[in-house]
Amino acid sequence: MLTDTAIRKTKPAPTPLKLSDGGGMHLLLKPDGSRYWRLNYRFAGKQKTLALGVYPTVTLADARQRREDARRLLSNGVDPGAERKARKAQLTVTTAVEVDTFEKVARDWMAWRDKRGETAETTANKDRWRLESYLFPQLGLRPIAEITAIELRDVLRLVEETGKRETASRTKITAGQVFRWAVLEGRTHSDLTASLRGLFTTPKPTHRAAITDPLKIGELLRSFDEFSGQFTTQCALKLAPLVFVRPGELRKAEWPEFDLVNAIWRIPGERMKMKAPHVVPLSTQAVAVLRDLAPLTSSGRYVFPSVRTASRPMSENTINVALRRLGYGKDEMTGHGFRSMAASRLNEMGWNADAIERQLAHAESNKVRAAYTHAAQYLEERTRMMQAWADYLDGVKNGAQVMHLRRSA
């Protein structure tokens, strides 16, 4: 016989485990930590299995009661599985139109958000993955207005118990967005996550590793010349420190966005994290890298296409994998680290902090001030700064003791 303590203490294994409770009932423990009640029985000479629910939403006592209910039907010559299907069919006919299930509402929320176009593609994909992986399997068919905070808490704790505390915390955040939208649409009464505040400790922010010491910057840049992988990857490595855009903005760069004659890269708002168009002045060094690459990829859409198909950009892990091949660990340098490298050194060198922030395409925290901020702000100064930065990188790459970079007059 099972106990709640035994169930909670049993850890997932590489293959599914069956924890028997007798009477044909067992708890199926899957490798991902999910737990499902199952009842094996025979009817009309055939072996069958009946799903009794998901633990801990369906408690041990609830599962035993459902087992007894099924056995009672069997004693009366009724197949419990067939009887359940008949009830579901009737329920579908009578309530399908009226009931807003959690999955239906969540998918409507995702469609509404996609239509607005204000959320980065990567963020939307991660929210969809969390919903489909952790919330839909256990809460998807439940009417959203009937879900309780305890039910949601138990589902989130299942995720946490697999060692994915940060994932559990972020899944709660996604669930909260769905509930709050549903409240505004009149499809449920409250945001259940409000009562779950403090359920998880807030994950500590992770600071992306970056090299900022001039001597080590020089070593890093010299290593790019020795890179033996794909030429497109080598060019991406060389261009990254010269433009210091976000990794996603670099790998998805498209040739029509570049004006090499006037040395300007115009990134459309839909590809930017903050959904605002961005202008990147190109140094002569950056233009040279792009001209070297143009004969190979400019006939297609992407500057850095995937090695598998030119119809897609390079993988989001390509730059980081290349850095690992060059001997730089994830705690030493990352693709995002080129932004920190530039921001740190340029601020130390005395460049206008506002111009640096504009070049990094950071959001303006002051809403009044943001109303006057646009892609070309500080463009003349940023153009001088980007060329001076590229010249500085050349200096440290060539071994010069260039410790300070003075602003041009």
Catalytic residues: 246, 273, 336, 339, 362, 372
- Residue showing tokens 């390509």: 318
Distances (CA, A) of 189 to 149, 179, 184, 192, 253: 12, 9, 9, 9, 44
Residue 57, φ and ψ in degrees, nearest 5: -55, -45
Residues 6+ apart with CB under 8 A from 184: none
Which residue, 230, 64, 50, 33, is CA-closest to 134? Answer: 33
- In degrees rounded to 5, what are phi and psi of residue 199? -60, -35
Would you tell me how many other CB atoms lie within 10 Å of the CB of residue 228? 7
Are 33 and 162 in contact, with CB atoms under 8 Å apart?
Answer: yes
**Is the distance from CB of 297 to CB of 305 less than 8 angstroms?**
yes
- Taken as a whole, the chain contains a residue count of 409
Beta strands (DSSP E) in 268-374 are 278-281
Helix orientation angle between 165-184 and 121-130, rounded to the nearest 10 degrees = 100
> Rounded to an integer, what distance in angstroms lies between the CA atom of residue 242 and that of residue 257?
17
Phi, psi of 375, rounded to the nearest 5 degrees: -60, -30
**Which amino acid would we find at residue 234?**
Q
**Which burial class, exposed, middle or buried, applies to 346 when counting CB atoms under 10 A from its CB (0-12, 13-18, 19+)?**
buried
Pick the closest to residue 286 from 335, 341, 239, 235 (CA basis).
239
C-alpha to C-alpha distance for 339 and 343, rounded to whole angstroms: 6
Q: Is the peptide bond before 56 cis (omega within 30 degrees of 0)?
A: yes
What is the token pair recorded at 209?
A: 């590793």
Integer Cα distance of 391 and 235 in angstroms: 18
